[in-house]
């Protein structure tokens, strides 16, 4: 399955139940296609941002970038990496910071 070139510049939604092979059947092949698209032309190749909790998909993206000669395009933001982000280190007052943390937790885990 391949994304038509027009689809490389628009949004794509992939939906399915747990275990429905969304990653294997769509996300990995599509990511491979995106990473390969004009990979040799730094001005035209596609970049992206991967946000993932578990990290397995990030390792696959890193592998795909290396496969297409783009290993230097991978930058990881993590607690143990060269680049880090601490959302608690900012100029917010205590109430605003607590509200933002509560909102984040509600978005991630629901209000249960």
> How would you classify residue 18: left for phi > 0, otherwise alpha for psi between -120 and 50, otherwise beta?
beta
Is 94 part of any domain? no
Is 91 part of any domain? no
Is 99 part of any domain? no
Is 95 part of any domain? no
Per-residue pLDDT of the chain (112 residues; tens, 9 = 90+): 778 877 777 778 889 999 999 988 988 999 999 899 999 999 999 888 888 877 789 999 999 999 999 999 999 888 788 888 877 788 889 999 899 889 888 888 877 6
CA-CA distance, 47 to 16, in Å (whole number)? 26
Overall number of domains in the chain = 1
Among candidate residues 61, 71, 58, the one with its CA nearest the CA of residue 29: 61
Residue 40 sits in which domain range?
A: 5-79
Is 105 part of any domain? no
Helix (H) or strand (E) holding 95: helix 94-109
Q: Maximum Cα–Cα distance for the chain, whole Å?
A: 50
Q: How far is CA 82 from CA 5, 9, 71, 79, 87, in A?
A: 34, 30, 16, 9, 16
Is 48 part of any domain? yes
């Amino acid at each position: 399955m391949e994304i038509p070139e027009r689809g490389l510049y628009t949004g794509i939604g992939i939906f399915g139940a747990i275990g429905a092979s969304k990653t294997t059947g769509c996300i990995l092949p599509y990511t491979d296609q995106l990473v390969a698209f004009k990979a040799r032309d730094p001005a035209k190749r596609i970049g992206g941002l991967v946000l993932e909790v578990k990290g397995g998909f990030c390792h696959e993206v890193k592998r795909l970038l290396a496969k297409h000669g783009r290993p230097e395009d991978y930058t990881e933001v993590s607690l143990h990496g060269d680049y880090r982000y601490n959302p608690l280190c900012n100029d917010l007052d205590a109430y605003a910071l607590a509200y933002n943390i509560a909102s984040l937790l509600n978005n991630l885990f629901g209000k249960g």
